[in-house]
Structure 1
Amino acid sequence: MEAFLISTGIVALAEMGDKTQLLSLVLAAKFRKPWPIILGILLATLLNHALAGAVGAWLTSVLGPNALRWILGLGFLAMAVWMLIPDKLDEEDANVKASRFGVFVTTLIAFFFAEMGDKTQVATVALAAQYQALVAVVAGTTLGMMLANVPAVFIGDQLAHRLPIKLIHGVAAAIFAILGILALSGVGL
């Protein structure tokens, strides 16, 4: 349960102001069909985070506990710093056109590829390696993504500009830093 709750919270915070949340806003404004967009985000996130979680689980099987502790500790500290760097939506990500398959498939493809190498995907790898609970981590990170992106789809631009993004990123950075320090010190979470 701890892996699920921490994964949910950290990804929900990390996703605020992230490029995939900005992509959610763009898709919602462009297509004005929230349900296919939400379903596309859900499926893309499940696929992407299942792959990322599998990588994290694999790392625990090939690395010794000492090496894994250092990699996770330094990785979480790096994520803390990365959280403090503002994210921008790339021009090519924002220039989304509906494919002949419709809004759902367009969202699925755009969101899946926008999430590649993103903060939340990297966090999913690290959390899966830390907790060694693949299903709980993937379920938690997916829920965190949905908690951040579903309101963006429904409420759109109006709410996004009112949120204290710097404060939210600061809290997420602090959580990542604490996880990093705990991992480096060998304290089990």
Structure 2
Amino acid sequence: MEAFLVSSGIVALAEIGDKTQLLAFVLAAKFRKPLPIVLAIFVATVANHAFAAAVGSWLTALMGPDLLRWVLGLGFIAMAAWTLVPDQIDEDDAKLAHYGVFLTTLVAFFAAEMGDKTQVATVALAARYHNLVSVVAGTTFGMMLANVPAVYLGGRIAGKVPLKLVHGVAAAVFAVLGVLTLLGAGAGVGL
């Protein structure tokens, strides 16, 4: 349960103001069909984060516990710093093909998520918790927590979310996780 809850919280916080959330705003404004957009975000996230979690599990098997602890600890601290850097949507991410709402959203969201903070966090969380299903379910839930309101409420909430505060909280959570990992917390789960 801890893997699910931590994964959900970290990804939900990290997604606020992230380029994929900005993409969700753009797609919602362009198509004005929230249900297919939300379904496509869900499918793209499950596929992307399942791949990321598999990479995290593979890294766990590849590295010894001591090296993994250092890589994860420093990785979480790097994620803390990265979270404080505001995202902007790329022009390529905003280009929308004419293949229908669902397919356009699916492809655009999956591509935008590649190498994104939340995907990298999913790799680290899967390596940290050794529970692929809980991590993917948690990170997907966190993505949906952040993006469903973006799709349905769009411009009405965009200016009302204190992004600096949210990014600060997310960075603090990543930093605490990094420090705890470096200090050996989780040693009972193979770190």
TM-score interval, smaller chain:
over 0.9
Query: What TM-score, normalized to structure 2?
Result: 0.96
Distance 1:97 1:54 in 2: 30
Structure 1 residue 95: Cα displacement? 2.0
Corresponding residue for residue 97 of structure 1? 97
Q: 2:129 aligns with which of 103, 128, 131?
A: 131
Structure 1 residue 157 and structure 2 residue 191: aligned?
Answer: no
Corresponding residue for residue 140 of structure 2? 142
Corresponding residue for residue 7 of structure 1? 7
Structure 1 residue 65 and structure 2 residue 65: aligned?
Answer: yes
Distance 1:156 1:121 in 2: 23
Instruction: Provide structure 1 residue ranges, at least 5 long, that are not aligned to the other structure.
Output: none
Which moved further from structure 2: 153-162 or 21-30?
153-162
Paired residue type of 2:87? D
Within-5 A mapping of 1:48-127: 48-99=48-99, 102-127=100-125
SS in 2 for 1:186: coil
SS in 2 for 1:174: helix
Corresponding residue for residue 35 of structure 1? 35
Structure 1 residue 134: Cα displacement? 0.3
SS in 2 for 1:11: helix
Distance 2:143 2:158 in 1: 15
The percent identity for this pair of structures is 69
Distance 1:95 1:58 in 2: 34
Paired residue type of 1:119? K
Corresponding residue for residue 178 of structure 1? 176
Instruction: Provide structure 2 residue ranges, at least 5 long, that are not aligned to the other structure.
Output: none
Which moved further from structure 2: 128-137 or 153-162?
153-162
Corresponding residue for residue 26 of structure 2? 26
Deviations 1:83-136 (A, max 9, x none): 00000000111121332xx11011000000000000000000000000000000
Query: What TM-score, normalized to structure 1?
Result: 0.97
SS in 1 for 2:107: helix
Structure 1 residue 168: Cα displacement? 0.2
Paired residue type of 1:62? L
Paired residue type of 1:68? L
Distance 2:144 2:132 in 1: 18
Counting matched residue pairs gives: 187
SS in 2 for 1:97: coil
Distance 2:130 2:180 in 1: 16
CA RMSD of aligned residues (A): 0.8
Q: List structure 1 segments (4+ residues) > 2 angstroms apart after TM superposition.
A: none
